[in-house]
Amino acid sequence: MPISYLTHLKCPKCGKTYDADKVTQLCLCGSPLLAQYDLESARKALKKSDLANREPSLWRYREILPVKDDKNIVSLGEGMTPIIPLKTIGPKLGLNNLYLKDEGIIPTGTFKARGAAVGVSRAKEVGIKALAMPTNGNAGAAWSIYTARAGIKCIIVMPEDAPEITRNECAITGADLYLVNGLISDAGKIVGRAVAKHSIFDASTLKEPYRIEGKKTMGLEIAEQFNWEVPDVILYPTGGGVGIIGIYKALKELQSMGWIGEKMPRLVAVQATGCAPIVKAWEEKKEASVFWENAKTIAFGITVPKALGDFLVLQAVYETNGCAIAVADDEILKAQVDLAAAEGAFVCPEGAACLAAASKLREQGWIGADEKVVILNTGTGLKYPDTVQVELPVLKPEEDVKI
C-alpha cells in the first residue's frame, strides 16, 4: 500500500519550518509555504515500473503527494492528461518537435482540478470544514466541485466579468457564490475580510500550501510521458503562477530522487500584453513584480495584476535559463483558430497564448528548430464561447447546402 512521504512545510523565503498536520496558511514572514518530503525514502519505496500498474490519474504519484490516508482522497479521476504531438502547425512555425499538454481533458475542463483535488483532499485530512477563495472563475469552479464531493462548505467570490459557465459550475454544487463589480484583487480583499471575521480557511492561491502539490503533477506527468527525458522548453500561461512553480518543484524533486538527470527544461512564463507584471520584472531582472494597473486581456485566467508567488515564478524562470514573454490578444485569438483548424485542438485563450509565444521565440531564435517544446493548454475552449465569432447560414428543411 503506497503512503505519502510528506514531512513538513517550509518557507522558501526565510527557511522557517511548520508542522504539516496543523492547519497552516502563510509563513509568519508572509511568504507561501512549500510541502517537503522525505525523497530518499520515497525513492526507495517507489520504482518507475510500479507506475505501470497504477490508475491513470495524478494519484499515481501518491508517495510525493501530501495526502496521508487514502480515505481522504477526493477524486473525480483527474490527471494523466494527454500530450498531443502538433505535427502540422509545429513545422509550419518552424518547430519540428512541438507538443501540447492538454489540460482541457480533466474534470471541470481546466488544470485547476489538480490543485483543487489535492488541496481539498488535504483540507479534509487536516479537518477543515469551511473555506473561502477569490477566483477568476475556473479555480472557484474546481474548488466548488471538489469541496462538494468532500462535504466541505465553500465560499467563492469572483469578478462579474469571469466566464459565465464557471458561475454555473459553482452554483450547481451549492457553493456560496458572490460576484464582485471589480477584479480578482477586489474579490481577494472581500475574501480576506470574511476569513478574518469568521475564522474560515483561506484557500486563495498560495495562501494554502497544497494546491501547488496538485499542480506539480503536471511536471511529474510530463517527465513520465516523455519517458523521463525532459523536453527542452515548457511554455506556461502565467497568472498566479502556481503551475510553473509546481512544475519546477516537481522536476527538482524528480532530480533528488534520481528519476531524471541534471537537464532541466527552460521554463517560459507566458503572459498577455494587457497584464504582464512577470514579464516586466523579468525584463528588468527583478526578483519580484509590481502591481499591474488596468489589467485587461481576453485570456481572463491570466489577468492577475500581482501574484503572491511572483518571486517563485521568477526564480523558476531564472534558474532554468527560461524567459518571460507577453503576447497580444489578437495574436492569442489567431493562435486559437490556427491550432483548431490545423490540429483539431480547441484550447482556451491562455493555452493559445503559449502557441503564439512559442512562435515568437522561434522567430527570435530563442527556441531552436529541433528542440522538444511543450505548450501547456490550461483549459478547454468550451469554457470560453465568446472567443469564437461565427455567422452561419440557416437553411429551411427544403433548402440545400452549397458545395
Kindly calculate the radius of gyration of the chain based on its CA atoms and give it in whole angstroms: 21
Instruction: Check binding of 105 to its own copies (CB under 8 A).
Output: yes
Instruction: Check binding of 182 to its own copies (CB under 8 A).
Output: yes
Measure CA 12 to chain center.
20
Instruction: Check binding of 84 to its own copies (CB under 8 A).
Output: yes
CB of 231 to its own copies, least distance (A): 17
Q: Residue 241 and residue 232: Cα distance in Å, rounded?
A: 20
Residues of span 189-228 touching its own copies by CB under 8 A: 189-191, 193-194, 197-198, 200
CB of 120 to its own copies, least distance (A): 9
Q: SS3 of 98, please? A: strand
Using the rule CB under 8 A, which residue among 179, 315, 328, 366 binds its own copies?
179
Instruction: Check binding of 168 to its own copies (CB under 8 A).
Output: yes
Instruction: Considering the complex, state which of residue 5 and residue 346 has its C-beta at the smaller distance from its own copies.
Output: 346
Residue type, 152: I
Query: Is the Cβ–Cβ distance between 210 and 349 less than 8 Å?
Result: no
Instruction: Check binding of 397 to its own copies (CB under 8 A).
Output: yes
Instruction: Considering the complex, state which of residue 277 and residue 379 has its C-beta at the smaller distance from its own copies.
Output: 379
Using the rule CB under 8 A, which residue among 29, 290, 369, 382 binds its own copies?
382
Instruction: Check binding of 57 to its own copies (CB under 8 A).
Output: yes
Instruction: Check binding of 316 to its own copies (CB under 8 A).
Output: no
Q: What is the total count of residues that contact its own copies (CB under 8 A)?
A: 83
Query: Is the Cβ–Cβ distance between 103 and 383 less than 8 Å?
Result: no
b (16+ CB within 10 A) / e for 135-157? bbbbbbbbbbbbbbbbebbbbbb
Q: x/- binding map, residues 113-152, to its own copies, per CB under 8 A?
A: -------------------x------------xxxxxxx-
Instruction: Check binding of 294 to its own copies (CB under 8 A).
Output: no
Instruction: Check binding of 291 to its own copies (CB under 8 A).
Output: no
CB of 197 to its own copies, least distance (A): 8
Using the rule CB under 8 A, which residue among 81, 135, 204, 303 binds its own copies?
81
DSSP state of 327: E
Alpha carbon distances (Å) from 275 to 221, 285, 291, 305, 327: 29, 18, 10, 6, 10
Instruction: Considering the complex, state which of residue 36 and residue 169 has its C-beta at the smaller distance from its own copies.
Output: 169
Three-class DSSP labels, 225-257: HCCCCCCCEEEEECCCCHHHHHHHHHHHHHHHC
Instruction: Check binding of 248 to its own copies (CB under 8 A).
Output: no
The helix or strand, by DSSP H or E, that contains position 349, with its residue range, turns out to be: helix 349-363
Degrees to nearest 5, angle at CA 292 with 347 and 13: 90
Q: Residue 331 and residue 41: Cα distance in Å, rounded?
A: 47
Q: Which stretch binds its own copies (CB under 8 A): 167-175, 202-210, 228-236, 241-249?
A: 167-175
Instruction: Check binding of 76 to its own copies (CB under 8 A).
Output: yes
DSSP state of 259: S
Q: Which stretch binds its own copies (CB under 8 A): 168-176, 239-247, 252-260, 289-297?
A: 168-176
Using the rule CB under 8 A, which residue among 22, 28, 181, 294 binds its own copies?
181
Instruction: Check binding of 71 to its own copies (CB under 8 A).
Output: no
Question: Which parts of 162-245 are beta strand (E)?
Answer: 176-180, 201-202, 233-237
CB of 170 to its own copies, least distance (A): 9
Q: What count of Cα atoms within 13 Å lies in the side-chain half-sphere of residue 165?
A: 12
The pair phi, psi for residue 153, each rounded to 5°, is: -70, 140
Q: Is 87 left (phi over 0), alpha (psi -120 to 50) or beta?
A: alpha
Instruction: Check binding of 80 to its own copies (CB under 8 A).
Output: yes
Using the rule CB under 8 A, which residue among 99, 111, 259, 346 binds its own copies?
346
Instruction: Considering the complex, state which of residue 93 and residue 264 has its C-beta at the smaller distance from its own copies.
Output: 93
CB of 165 to its own copies, least distance (A): 5
Q: Residue 359 and residue 156: Cα distance in Å, rounded?
A: 37
